[in-house]
Each structure stands twice: as structure tokens, then as C-alpha cells.
Amino acid sequence: MSNGLGIGISLLLGIWAYVAIVADLGPGWTLDDPIVSGLFVGAVVGNIPLGLAIGGTLELMSLGLWTYGGATIPDYMTGSIVGTAFASVSKLPLAQAMAAGMAIAVPVSLFMTQLDILGRSATTVFIHGADRAVEKQDDAAFTRWHLFGQLPWGLSRGVPVFFAVWLGSGPIQTLINNIPAWLTRGLGTMGQILPALGFGILLTFLPIEKWWTFFVLGFVMFAYLNVPLLGIALAALAVVIIYFSLKPAQAGEQQAEEAAAIKVDETKSPVTHGDLVNAMWRHILTLQISWNYERMQALGYAWSIAPILKKVYPGKDEYFAALKRHMVFYNTAPMVGSPTIFGADCALEEKRQSEVGDSLKVALMGPFAGIGDTVTAILMKPIFAVFAASMALAGSVGGAWLMLLLGFTWFGFAFPGFWLGHRQGLGLVRQVSSGAITRITDMASTAALFIMGGFIPSILGGVRTPLEFTKKVMLEGKEVIQSVKLQDTFDKLLPYLLPLVITFSVYWLLKKKHWTNLQVLLLLVAIGLVLGALRIL
């Protein structure tokens, strides 16, 4: 099974891997699902049952795994492609071919986590290139930096798949076996702690010093009561509604002054329906293709809203100043949540309510991230995946169609979500004078902190130390050696202590020491590589 396939098939599968990962980042189509990819490869190599069997097995292995907030998981799509391609060369009966394919698919899936981390890290180059383009007021270069942001994502899948399928399993297995163990550990640890950067940045936008008690409630529910994230999100919704219903509205002098200071532009909006449709399609199709560890979805968001800004701010200086304002950290559920936030922000920009729009965007992305990711990944995906995997293992292509249906369903929800947000955004402008915006922002911020209390330990829960110490003690007159695991000591002090320490250290460096996002990113990379290689984390 060491011989590879022809260069034509290898190129086709490499292109599929590239397109599949970019399609997942953009419109959310589930082309990267292992069953869907298994079906495609099976059709290409002439053995659909084999592709479905390998894809279905990998689907079951992936249950419960989801890339929350930048977390890296095994790349079962690539494993499905390479495993099916290699197994098809063997010409063995289905059961034996599937076993042989899985022997390659699993290590390839695990190995791809390293390339995924490198690909995600490389995308930071594009956000800084876009920053320079905005400073130079070069709109074409700004667009190029965003659209080219897909390259590290696509190439990190497409190139390995091409060479793996072309060269055959022998060289790839040799490469995997010869990667130094210290480097693998270091990259793995780096991937585990890098999402702390996104959480730290998000905390700088939220009033945690004012509403820290809500964060503690979410943390206690997850760490001590083992409440799942969906339960925490629902509890956050209930607690926040009860709290603010009992808390009297503050319609005092400060709100009156704020309302008086806000002047809504009642002139006809220069933004046409076509401009809104353009912005909506940009957002739905490309929001995440330039995703990066530093500011996550910021570049995609800014490029999406650019058509609106061009009409509202016709002056070149004014337009690029508005564009720069949207280049700040942004990250939320891309299909269930972000279109609604984006639609409301577009409506507020139309009325030149940029400060209100910016506040609303920051306040809502946390709650929508918690609720959206929980509903799509924890509630719906496992249900669909179990049925799809059982169908695929039975040889039915319906399993692949079922997973495609799930992806296109979320894609379809994005469009009404945008228009709902746009309508509500216009309504929110008219409620500013009553202090409703301040109240809504406070409610959204507290809900975000509540959910993040459970979200942070959930995503960073893998950050643990394997260190243990031994000591000699006297027990019943005999000297025995006793081992003490450092992680157990930490857990007795506070569950998930290390994830909290790392996240709030990032927050402290950003908020109090005024480090740049890039400086913190480089620090986390160094810490992850060194501590992982030394087996400290």
C-alpha cells in the first residue's frame, strides 16, 4: 500500500481539501465533514462504500469536538481523504481495506493539528498587511489581504493531501514517525493555549471589573456543578432577565445627557438595497477566510461592511477612519449570531450611529458565540452526526447528504438573521433617548461574562501540567516513596486554575500593560513550545 495514486487524482483531491476547508470557513458548507469528503474521494477512486465506511468511523470519533474560539482539533477531513485514497490502492476486501485506511487516517488526522496551528498562526501576517493598506488608504490592497487570508488555511490542507496521495503512504508515515517528539508536544501545547489570546482580548471589551460576579457564576456552574454549555447559556439568559427586571431603569441625568448628545441623521440614507445585499453576501461567504489568532474575524467583518461605509462616508479620510474602526477584535458564531449583529451594525452605520453600533457589536458577540456555538455544535451536530455515521457505515450515501443538509440549513438561517438584525438596528436608534441601548448593552455584557465563565475552562480545559514530585515518608514504621501530582494540587485549590491564570494574564498584559496583540501572541507561542517540549504543560 506504499504506492500513490496518479498526479491527476492527487491534484483533484488536493483541490477538494483546499475548497472544503475554505467553504467551511466562509459559508459554513460542511464539505469538510469526514463523511462528505469520504463520499467524494470514494467516488473519485471508484469505491464509494469504502469512503463512506472510513468517513463514518471518523465521524463517530469526532463527536463532541468543535473548534470553539480558535481551538484546534484533529483534522478528520484530511484523514478521511488520505485514508480512503490509500485504502483504495490496497484492493483488499471492504472490512480489511477500511482497517488499513483507518491505520493511516488516524495518525494523519492527529498530525494535521500541527499544520492547522501553523496555518492559523500564519494568517496574522494578513491582518497586519490589511492594517498597512488602511493606513496608506489603499482599498484594493485591503481587499487583497483579506481574500488572500484563505491561503494558509487552504494550502495547509491542499498541499499535504496532494503529496500524501501522490507519494503514497510510505513516505508520509515515515515523515510522521520522524517528527521529534519534543516538537510535537510543543506544537500541541501551543495550540491548546493560543485560544487564551482571543478570550483575553474579548475580556478587554467587556466590563468585567463591574460585572465580575456573573463570570464567577458561569465558572461555578461549569467547574463545580458540571453544567453543560447550553445549560449555562440558558441560565445566563434567565438570570440576566430576572436581574435587570428587578433592577430599576436608570433614566436619570446621565441618560438624558447621552440622549441629548445623540443626533439621529433623519436624511435619506445613501445606502441602497443593493449595497446591503452586497455587504450581506460578503459577510456570509467570507467572514472567516482571513481568521487569525490575533483579531480572529476582524478583517472579514471590516471587508464585509466596507460597501456600507463607502456610501455613508464618501470622503476618503472619513471612509478609511471608519474602516480602521472596524479592524478591532471580533469573534462570534459565524452563522447563528454574526449575521444578526452585522445587520444591526449596518443599520446603525447608515444613521451614523457608529458609537452605538460599536458598543452593540462588542456586547453581543459574546452571548451569540456561547449560544450559537452551543446550539450548532453541541445540540445539533452530534444528533445529525450519529444518524449520518450509522447510514454511512451501512453503505448509504444518505449519511453524506444529511451532513450537507445540516451545513446548508445553518447557511440558510444567515440570510433572515441579517435582515432581522437590520430591522432591529433601525429600531434601536429610536430607543436611544430612553436609555434602552445602555440597558441592552449591560444585559448583553453580563450574559457574555456569564457564558464566558463556562466557556473559558471548557475550551482551555486541556491546559494541564503532568509534573509530579516524589518524597519519602514514614508509613507504619516503613519508609515509602509517595508521589504528588502538581495538577491535583491545583485542582484542590481551584479547578481549571491554569486556564484562568493564562487567560487573565493575557487580559492583564493587554489591559494594564498595554501590550499589543502581536506581542502577546508571540509570548504564548514561545511559552507553548518551550513548556510543551519540556513536558511542563
**CA distances, 13 to each of 25, 32, 47, 172 (Å):** 19, 12, 15, 16
Q: Enter the C-alpha cell of residue 180.
A: 521529534
> What band does 254 get if pLDDT is binned at 50, 70 and 90?
very low
61-88 pLDDT tens trace: 776 555 555 556 678 888 889 888 887 8
Pseudo-torsion of CA 370, 373, 379, 384, nearest 10°? 180
Cα-flanking dihedrals φ and ψ of residue 81, to 5°? -65, -55
Domain ranges, ordered by start, for the chain: 7-197
Q: What percent of the chain has a predicted confidence (pLDDT) above 70?
A: 84
The pLDDT score that the predictor gives to residue 172 is 56
**DSSP state letter for 249:** P
Each residue's pLDDT tens digit, 271-312: 899 999 999 999 999 999 998 888 889 999 999 999 999 999
- Per-residue pLDDT at 13 exceeds 50: yes
441-466: per-residue pLDDT in tens?
Answer: 677 778 878 888 887 887 788 788 88
pLDDT for the residue 427: 61
* Integer angstrom CA distances of residue 333 from 28, 93, 340, 372: 11, 43, 10, 5
Q: How is residue 165 written as a grid cell?
A: 496521495
Written as nine digits, the cell of 469 is 514530585
**How far are the Cα atoms of 18, 111, 162, 471 from residue 10, in angstroms, in the given order?**
12, 19, 5, 56
Residue 259 has pLDDT above 50, yes or no: no
- For residue 464, give the 3-state DSSP assignment: coil
206-218 pLDDT, tens digit each: 788 888 899 999 9
Write down the pTM of the prediction.
Answer: 0.70
d(C-alpha 295, C-alpha 314), whole Å:
27
Inter-residue contact 289 to 464 (CB < 8 Å): no
CB 372 within 8 A of CB 335: yes
Examine the pLDDT at 248 and tell me if it is beyond 80. Answer: no
